[in-house]
């Protein structure tokens, strides 16, 4: 009913608007007595300290949350982090031992590919930490440690609030590792946690772009394809934006690392093609920012319709943006928590305009319990 959907036409928009709360609930209680706390820990602190390599294994959007986390965990912990599609992981011969931490990220906690990856990792003696949105699901039950996301039940098949909560939870895992390894001082861990705690308000702020983005979605709904570009943490955001559009609007969509443009994808640019560009902060990532500005000017010169997601006050991009969507200024590593939101709204509105069921896209199940 409309009441269940909080007055919205579909659950997804309600769930998009619940993201500040999902983030706040996921962070709550995880910093106590000056330390990051997991929900369940069946391995010793010494085992955490001894970790010398991290794998994140997951599928779909959860996999994208892992790609985002790689930037933070490598930076904070000085540990190599590999992010793997769960369906590929155990069919290679991944190098795993007791000093490997496998972080299994799954909203449902029942995804067959991720569960089998967990089992394979444990057989090889790796430690497994589950990031999961469903209490007592199979993946957390079979893991050595658990951090629950508290996004609440997600009805829309396309993940929104669970995805943002996964990013936050993965960051908590990174901070727990940094604290165990001593690669960050306690006051730095506290500062990072405080920055995370400021994110629900930033996400609330970005929700003020919903009407603008819905209007844009209606205007580009008859496009044949949409491309998404980003760099650094904006690259996995581009992948997530493209996945949302494929899932919901059945449109051809691709996410690229913007630096790859001239190595191939630029050949796809043609008149009127919408290209969404996720800009890094002009202050926080000045070098990448200027490279992306030149990418946008190149693709605009070749006729693309540029849709630019940029930090508020970023005037350098304005001349090259056919549509400018402003997001609040936040620390670089946390930008995906705000830059993803307009991409969710865009995909949902394009799907709605094309007459599709936003909450139940064709051919997809909310949790994939077969391989």
Using CB under 6 A as the criterion, which residues of the chain lie in contact with ligand AGP when the complex forms? 59-62, 106-108, 111, 114, 157-159, 247, 367-368
Q: Characterise 134 by phi-psi region: left (phi > 0), alpha (psi -120 to 50), beta (else).
A: beta
Give the rounded distance of the alpha carbon of 264 from its chain centre. Answer: 25
CA–CA distance, 331 with 326 (Å, rounded to integer)? 15
Closer residue to ligand AGP in complex, CB, 106/281: 106
Q: What minimum distance in Å lies between the beta carbon of 154 and ligand AGP?
A: 9
Q: What minimum distance in Å lies between the beta carbon of 301 and ligand AGP?
A: 34
133 token code pair = 């949105």
* Catalytic-labelled residue, pool 5, 205, 291, 366: 366
Contacting residues for 15 by C-beta, under 8 A, at least 6 apart: 154, 155, 156, 160, 161
Closer residue to ligand AGP in complex, CB, 79/368: 368
Q: What minimum distance in Å lies between the beta carbon of 176 and ligand AGP?
A: 21
Closer residue to ligand AGP in complex, CB, 62/251: 62
Closer residue to ligand AGP in complex, CB, 43/347: 347
Q: Which residue number has the CB closest to ligand AGP? A: 60
- Among candidates 66, 81, 105, 77, which has minimal Cα distance to 189? 77
CA–CA distance, 239 with 258 (Å, rounded to integer)? 12
Closer residue to ligand AGP in complex, CB, 134/209: 134
Helix, coil or strand: residue 199: helix
Q: How does DSSP assign 256-278, residue by residue? A: EEGGGGGGTGGGG--TT-EEEEE
CA–CA distance, 80 with 361 (Å, rounded to integer)? 37
**How many CB atoms lie under 10 A from the CB of residue 265?**
17
Closer residue to ligand AGP in complex, CB, 132/175: 132
CA–CA distance, 176 with 275 (Å, rounded to integer)? 37
174 token code pair = 């990174």
CA–CA distance, 310 with 231 (Å, rounded to integer)? 13
Give the rounded distance of the alpha carbon of 137 from its chain centre. Answer: 22
CA–CA distance, 295 with 308 (Å, rounded to integer)? 12
Q: How far apart are the first and last CA of the chain?
A: 33
* 184 noted as active-site residue: no
Closer residue to ligand AGP in complex, CB, 151/227: 151
CA–CA distance, 10 with 361 (Å, rounded to integer)? 12
Give the catalytic positions in this structure.
366
């Amino acid at each position: 009913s409309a009441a269940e959907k909080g007055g919205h036409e579909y659950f997804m928009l309600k769930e998009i608007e619940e993201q500040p709360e999902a983030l706040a609930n996921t962070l709550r209680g995880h910093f106590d007595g000056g330390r990051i706390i997991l929900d369940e820990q069946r391995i010793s602190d010494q085992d955490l300290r001894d970790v010398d390599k991290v794998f994140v294994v997951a599928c779909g959007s959860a996999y994208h949350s892992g790609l985002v986390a790689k930037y933070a965990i490598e930076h904070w912990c000085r540990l190599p982090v590999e992010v793997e599609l769960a369906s590929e992981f155990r069919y290679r011969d991944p190098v795993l031992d007791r000093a490997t931490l496998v972080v299994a990220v799954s909203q449902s906690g029942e995804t067959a590919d991720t569960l089998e990856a967990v089992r394979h990792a444990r057989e090889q003696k790796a430690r497994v930490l589950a990031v999961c949105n469903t209490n007592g699901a199979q993946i957390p039950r079979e893991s050595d440690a658990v951090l629950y996301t508290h996004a609440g039940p997600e009805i829309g098949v396309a993940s929104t609030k669970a995805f943002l909560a996964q990013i936050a939870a993965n960051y908590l895992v990174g901070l727990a590792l940094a604290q165990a390894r001593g690669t960050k001082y306690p006051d730095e861990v506290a500062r990072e946690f405080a920055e995370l705690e400021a994110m629900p308000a930033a996400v609330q702020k970005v929700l003020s772009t919903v009407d603008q983005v819905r209007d844009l979605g209606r205007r580009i709904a008859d496009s044949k394809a949409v491309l998404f570009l980003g760099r650094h943490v904006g690259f996995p955001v581009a992948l997530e934006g493209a996945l949302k559009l494929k899932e919901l609007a059945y449109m051809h969509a691709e996410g690229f690392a913007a630096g790859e443009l001239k190595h191939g994808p630029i050949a796809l640019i043609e008149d009127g093609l919408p290209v969404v560009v996720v800009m890094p902060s002009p202050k926080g990532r000045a070098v990448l920012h200027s490279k992306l500005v030149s990418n946008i000017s190149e693709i605009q010169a070749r006729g693309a319709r540029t849709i630019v997601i940029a930090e508020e006050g970023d005037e350098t991009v304005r001349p090259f943006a056919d549509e400018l969507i402003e997001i609040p200024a936040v620390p670089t590593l946390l930008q995906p928590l705000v830059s993803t939101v307009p991409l969710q709204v865009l995909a949902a509105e394009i799907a709605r305009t094309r007459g599709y069921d936003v909450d139940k896209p064709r051919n997809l199940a909310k949790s994939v319990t077969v391989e």
